[in-house]
Chain A
Amino acid sequence: MIQLRHVSKSYGGSVKAVDAIDLDVRRGEIFGFLGPNGAGKTTTIKMITGILTPDSGDILVNGLDLRKEPLAVKRSFGFVPDDPNIFPRLKAVEYLRFMGDIYQVPPDRRRERIQELTERFSLDEALTDRIQSYSHGMRQKLMIIGALLHDPDLWILDEPMTGLDPKSAYVLKEMMRAQADSGKTVFFSTHVLDVAEKVCDRVAVIDRGRILFCGSIADMQRQFRQDGSLESMFLELVNHSETAGEMA
């Protein structure tokens, strides 16, 4: 579903935020993108969604090249950013209408989706209010609803659990599973390793712009020859990467 080939990106100087990474995210899986702060997760996601242009390499989404067919690619995914502070002066219902019109969601389907998603995320009693009056978590939920309104084949979520209350986090995890089970794809970044461990089919660990590991949790356990938690293996990977980086 997502293919990255030798993708690199640097911000001005010589330090590469993303350094020649290769990644394959398969259709019908939940793929967790893990890494410490500043590892390159958000930069990678921004390149996949077209917010940033890679310095080199190719990105294919659903077999389509983002540079050649940007609109078709953008129609195929729903993106939830790590910062949900957008359009605070709009009412929530106006934001959803905006998203519905931009993604050309048919009227009947739109009404159905708004009702279903707002009820699931307990936002149905706040849709007439301005986004400005929402808490961080409520804004996050609204972003998720907006991104899923057109029922995209691919969900790209940047730290989606941040600020969500336990019920909404549970609902989102359930929805991610149902999405993957229906043959669609979820690609998300997270700091919460417990979540990754529980819901992901496969994960990639990135640090200092390089992919340190890509595979299932079972693969990781085999690689580390231990039955440890994802947290302990993650820490070992990152510590090893940091030591190697310092020595270099």
Chain B
Amino acid sequence: MTNLVRLAVVLFRGSGSGMTAGGGRRKRRSQFGNLILFLFLAVYMVAVMSASSAGLYSLLAASGLQNLMVGLCVSLGTVLVFLFGILYVISIFYFTGDIEKLLPLPLQADEIIGAKLAVTAAWEYLYLAVLVLPPLVVFGIRSQAGVSFYLFLAGVFVLLPVVPLCLASILVLLIMRFTPLARNKDRFNMVAGILAMLLAFGFVFGTQSMAGFDELDLAQMISSGSESVARLTTAVFPGTAFAVGALTMTNAARQLAQLGLLLLIACVAVLLTFRLARLLYFKGVIGVGTSAAKRRRLTSAELSQAGRGGSAFWTYWLKDARILVRTPVFFMNNVLMNFLWPVFFVLPMLTGAGGESDSGALIALARGFLADPQGKGAAWSIAVCFAVACFISGTNGITESALSREGETFYIMKIIPMSWWRQVLAKVSAGAAFSLAGTLLPLLLAAAVLRPPAWLVLSWLAVLPGGILMPNLGGIFFELFWPKLHWEHEQKAVKQNLNVLYGMALALLLAALLAVPPLALHFSPIETLLLTGLGSLLVAASETAVLRRILPGRFSAIEP
């Protein structure tokens, strides 16, 4: 236990540092600016979550279903912890640079896993504090709950991520046990990442659909009171229902019992994870970072291919793309997420629907909406398509971590005879290409299912350049000011990098500014196309102009 705590402290210390953009006063000023931006973003997110949950509370309270809000928040929190946890756990347990230093030390597998689990949990608490805590506090205020509610809330907040995080760890420990059997370990690790995410999605939506209630159940639950309605949303993880119970029951003794049960389940989950770690961790992690070598001479064809000259821009682009795809941590956090978001949105719709007939009805409804003679549905779909492009581009974190991913080898960018502008352009292009692929996937799927008229599909395509370039160009700004170049493991460059969060916030803000007016003011399809497609291109052009202006100064200031 002592080793676990000591190790956790060391790992925590190592996970905080890493911002640099020049030295001394310049660095302090830069960090101060970063802190202000972070606080602003945190306050902004808390305000948005609080305001929207206050609205939701009023809506639910009108039907006496306010407790449903607690169920929704707790479910959302656990699902987020579980899905993000998969990515964190794979990266932090298996691909951090400290593993080779930890393995020779006299530490048990469960001590290493315990310490790493604590570091992972810290990041999960951060997400929960911003996304889940504000609505629950709003619930407490609006329902005029006493002090005991907040005490139970504190307990639930501490215990909530434990079970989903342990489940994510168990899933990853089981899959990664097979790493030594793979000849190409990098490829296996990537496949393992995909498999883990798919299993995670399958688990979440599978348990949801298994717990699906028919309309009769629903009516009975609503009529029998809001406590049972909470069950609707809490069937995802063991213990989730106890968390909801601890916050919504009216009897303090029962609340305490629910919290006790949640604690018990959390302890069982931790013990199970530790036990499995002892059995599986070392078998999977030893040699995980090794790379197979063939040691063979270049064939004459390969030599002539290596000798074939290409453009510097293209080769630079290719280098970035290869590193993104081949580095397991980057692949899982940037590339895989780029393609998983659509699944994230589509699966609940499919599993939430009561069956094929419901899906068919939903599709028929959507087709009818798109064919609306007033063009409302078409305009709406153009705005949504634009927002999806912005969302996928802003959340994949590719340009938002473009410099950070270089790490201490960032100096290469400074010594090669290629202008900084072209290098940044190549990085933005790489991000834009992945964003385009991630956006085209759901768009083409929607076109195949909904069969809209050709002019509408073309309109969807027309808003993509702006919808993709605008967030990608925006994302690189943060990297120019606060690149995270000093890291021991790749995870820090992409996941523990606030620039990704800032880029996401900027992308969503810009998307909202351009996509909401057409929806709110009932624009025609042409007007929507002009505002989103052309408007975003104008924003992208402005970003380009500013970028060109500040680039020399910012690049000089970054000293690896």
Point out residues on A near B: beta carbons under 8 Å.
10-13, 46, 49-53, 71-72, 74-75, 79, 81, 83, 85-87, 89-90, 93-94, 96-98, 100-108, 110-111, 114-115, 124-130, 132-133
Contacts and interface: CB of A to CB of B under 8 A. Distances in A.
B327 interface: yes
Interface in B302-346: 302-304, 306-312, 314-316, 318-319, 322-323, 326-327
A95 B265 CA distance: 51
A49 B415 contact: yes
Contacts of B322: 89-90, 94
Contact of A102 (B294, B303, B312, B323): B312
Contacts of A83: 408
A104 B309 contact: yes
Interface of B: 23-25, 27, 186, 290-298, 302-304, 306-312, 314-316, 318-319, 322-323, 326-327, 408-409, 411-412, 414-419, 556, 559-560
Given A102-B312, A127-B297, A132-B291, 4 more contacts: A51-B411, A81-B411, A98-B315, A105-B309
14 contacts: A49-B411, A74-B415, A74-B417, A97-B310, A98-B318, A98-B319, A101-B315, A102-B418, A103-B416, A104-B312, A115-B303, A128-B296, A129-B291, A133-B293
B326 A51 contact: no
A91 to B, nearest CB: 9
Contacts of B415: 49-51, 74, 79
A107 B303 contact: no
B23 A101 contact: no
When A and B form their complex, which 7 residue pairs have the shortest distance between CB atoms, in order from nearest?
A: A12-B24, A111-B307, A101-B315, A133-B293, A74-B417, A12-B23, A89-B326
B306 A93 contact: yes
Contact of A97 (B295, B315, B556): B315
B293 A12 contact: no
By CB atoms of chain B within 10 A, which of A10, A49, A125 has the most?
A: A125
A114 B305 CA distance: 12
B307 A114 contact: yes
B291 A133 contact: yes
Contacts of B419: 71
Given A11-B23, A98-B319, A100-B309, A114 B418 contact: no
B309 A106 contact: yes
A107 B308 contact: yes
Nearest to B324: A89
A12 B292 contact: no
Contact of A89 (B311, B318, B323): B323
A16 B4 CA distance: 41
A53 B304 CA distance: 39
Contacts of A87: 319, 323, 409
Contact of A124 (B298, B314, B411, B418): B298
B309 A107 contact: yes
B2 to A, nearest CB: 34
A53 B559 contact: yes
A12 B310 CA distance: 41
A50 B414 contact: yes
B347 to A, nearest CB: 31
Given A46-B411, A86-B412, A129-B295, A102 B306 contact: no
Nearest to A150: B417
Contacts of B314: 101
A52 B311 CA distance: 27
B423 to A, nearest CB: 10
B25 A110 contact: no
Contacts of A81: 411
Contact of B556 (A46, A53, A93): A53
A104 B310 CA distance: 8
A11 B323 CA distance: 31
A125 B316 contact: no
Contacts of B316: 98, 101-102
B38 to A, nearest CB: 22
A75 B307 CA distance: 19
B23 to A, nearest CB: 4
Nearest to B412: A86
Nearest to A100: B309
Contacts of B304: 111
B559 A52 contact: yes
Contacts of A75: 417
B165 to A, nearest CB: 29
A128 B291 CA distance: 12
Given A71-B419, A89-B326, A93-B302, A124 B307 contact: no
A11 B303 CA distance: 44
B306 A96 contact: yes
Contacts of B318: 98
Contacts of A72: 417
Contacts of B412: 86
A125 B296 CA distance: 5
Nearest to A52: B559
A231 to B, nearest CB: 31
